Structure 1
Amino acid sequence: MTFAPLIPVLAAAVAVTLLLGIRELLRIARDRRRYVAAAELESQEEQVTSALRAWDARFRRTRPGRWFAGELDLAGLSFPPLVVALVTLAVGAGITWMIWRFLAPALAILGMVAGFVLVRAYLHRAQQRRQDAIVAQMPELARILANASYAGLSLPTALAVASRELAEPARGELARIADRLRFGAPLESALQEFRQRVRSREAGVLIATLIVSSRSGGSLVTALRDIARSLEQRKETRRQIKTTLSGPMATANAILVIGIALLFVLNLIQPGTVQAMTQSPAGVLSLAAAGLLFSVGYLVIRAMAKVEP
């Protein structure tokens, strides 16, 4: 019996097996390179993150760092203060370049001021949104405290229960109070800190009621239920007022935008006009007067449309 006819078949099988083996080795090598690259990238990211945390910790010990950290905490944002400070510088540098390039070099110094004002306005807006959200939760908080007090729970325990029942952002603030009480802080001190952080009349009324009750006793359940009804009505009133005043607030913002846009339009119609104005006393006086008028108009409208917290 001869095996000659099987030789081509065996050769083909060996060739196919060899090709499959080479393909598998190449796949393994490719996966290995990908895993090594991913591990190196993750290691580099960890190093960058560690370095960023170290620099952020140093920045927090400075006065600007403490200010940024405090503002971010009140706004409920978790960004590192160092990153926000760098973003502020980047925004200021970008606006400075735009003013230098399209308006006049003499006005470029206003770019850094504008960058800080924009970031500060963003933080203030975030703080206002968080404060409004907490104020909207005040009626529910009063009801939870009333029910807990009716069940015979102490005020610190009722606050701990409320911190678990409510959603953010009130949950975080109440958890802060519960943690302070757990570590031995006086109840009045913890409540006053909450009042200072929220800074609204609704929180002030509720905290004053809790403090008076903790000092002198009394029917806390009835008082909290009455406060819950009053806060619910006040929340609806605030919503209607803000809806009514949204138009004037938009007008105030439009005034600033129009004032800045006019400079760019003027320079676009006649290139070099703004720079020429900065080089003459009359032009500087005109720019200062225009800026003052626009600023006064903006502040007046904001003051008229402001709702006291």
Structure 2
Amino acid sequence: MDNLAQLTIGATLVFCVLAVAGVHVFVSGKAQREALVHRLSSTQQIPVVGRRRRFQGVDRRLKKTGLGKKVEIKLSATGLDLTPGEFFVYMLASIAGFWLIATSLLASFFGPIAALIGLWAAFAFLNWQRQKRIERFINQLPELSRILANATQAGLALRMALTMAADELEEPAGEELAKVANALAVGHSLDDALGELAERLPSRELVVLVTTLVLSNRSGGTIVSSLRNLTETLEERKETRREVRTQLSQIMMTAYIVPAMGLGCLLFIDNLYPGALDKITGSAFGQVTVLMSLSLYGLGFFLVRRLAKIQI
């Protein structure tokens, strides 16, 4: 009966977590649809209403703190349609879900550990989304450089070329260049606007492009030939990055499979000998042993990921 009750509680918690994730996906999809309707209806004058923000009280209080400002900066770099308050509430719900699931499936000792893992996973998710957005932007840089070269060769000023590229390119390059064009429209210098872009999406390729544009704008040199050469270089780097990512995919999968095997062993032991994990973690020696094992798994995870990071 105890095992049945624990499985029932665990299944309920999993369902709740999946329900929260489903609601978030639904809300994000709805927001994207409304944004698309707004963009398509700009010439048809169709009234569009933005999505209603949730947890506005939490959002207002959180933005007054240093943590809220940092979370807001991270969210702006990921492109997610989330406010700091929404992210904070969803993060707390995920942490509580991890805690209860670990307690019901393993032992009460693993609850706080799972909560810490949930906290790390929330911010790791933001970093992953930010890195994925940067990768997508880097893949668009050759096309961006080609558009700027064609526009400047046709006689357009660099500011007009950036505005045209913002209209032609898809997200995320189009959205980021639109921010640059808006900054230029309100009086920011080209150096500052492009510098903010490089800070939001840091990468070597973007730094090279920004440096080329800034220097050419200052010196008045032949920007067309520079952009033509830069386009070829960016294409080569794009292919190199794709090859390196393919070669390292097996190593990255190993980093996730090894901790998953450890968790599977814990579940297997507890299923084979019901109550074994409670007995193991019931003593100080067992708790220390479990913490050392988890630390070694975590160390191995970070070392493998570190070895798989190759700067090109």
SS at match of 2:109: helix
Residue from 298, 303, 306 that aligns with 2:309:
306
CA gap of 1:256–1:188, structure 2 versus 1, over 3 A, is: same
- The structural deviation recorded for 1:55 is 4.3
Residue 294 of structure 1: which of 291, 294, 297 is its match? 297
Cα shift at 1:173: 0.5
Cα distance change, pair 209–248 in 1 and its aligned pair in 2 (3 A):
same
Match of 1:191 among 189, 194, 203: 194
Runs (4+) of structure 1 exceeding 6 A deviation are none
Q: Which residue of 1 aligns with 2:127?
A: 124
Amino acid at match of 2:112: I
| CA deviations over 1:80-135 (Å, ceiling 9, x no partner) | 32222111111111111122223222331123212222222322222222111110
Aligned counterpart in structure 2 of residue 204 of structure 1, from 207, 213, 221: 207
**In the alignment, is residue 72 of structure 1 matched against residue 84 of structure 2?**
no
Give distance in 2, aligned partners of 1:50 and 1:151: 44
* C-alpha contact (below 8 Å) 1:266/1:273 kept by paired residues: yes
Quick check: 145-154 or 56-65, which moved more?
56-65
- The residue that corresponds to 2:233 in the other structure is 230
Counterpart selection for 2:92 from 89, 92, 113 = 89
What's the offset of the Cα at 1:50? 7.0
In structure 2, the CA distance between the partners of 1:56 and 1:240, relative to structure 1 (3 Å rule), is: same
Please tell me the residue identity of whatever aligns with 2:95.
Answer: G
CA distance in 1, matches of 2:128, 2:55: 27
Partner of 1:249: 252
Paired with 1:257 and 1:215, the residues of 2 have a C-alpha distance of: 54
Selected match of 2:156 from 147, 153, 156: 153
- Name whichever of 179-188 and 271-280 sits farther off: 271-280
User: How well do the aligned residues superpose, as a CA RMSD in angstroms?
Assistant: 2.1
Q: Which runs of 5+ in 1 are unaligned?
A: 1-45
The 2-side partners of 1:61 and 1:154 are apart by 41
Partners of 1:189 and 1:119 in 2: CA distance: 32
Q: Which structure's CA Rg is the greater one? A: 1
What is the TM-score normalised by the length of structure 1?
A: 0.79
Range moving further from structure 2, 272-281 or 191-200: 272-281
Distance in 2 of aligned mates of 1:144 and 1:293? 50
CA contact (8 A) 1:93 1:111 kept: no
How far apart in 1 are the matches of 2:265 and 2:123? 24
Distance 1:188 1:62 in 2: 30
TM-score normalised according to structure 2 size: 0.78
Structure 2 spans left out of the alignment, 5+ residues: 1-48
What is aligned with 2:44? none
When residues 296 and 52 of structure 1 are mapped into structure 2, their CA distance, relative to the original with a 3 A threshold, is: closer
How many residues align structurally?
263
Partner of residue 174, structure 1:
177
Superposition map of 1:102-121 within 5 A = 102-121=105-124
Deviation digits for residues 232-288 of structure 1 (CA, Å, limit 9, x no counterpart): 111111111111111111110111211222222222222232222223233123212
1:63 to 2:66 alignment:
yes
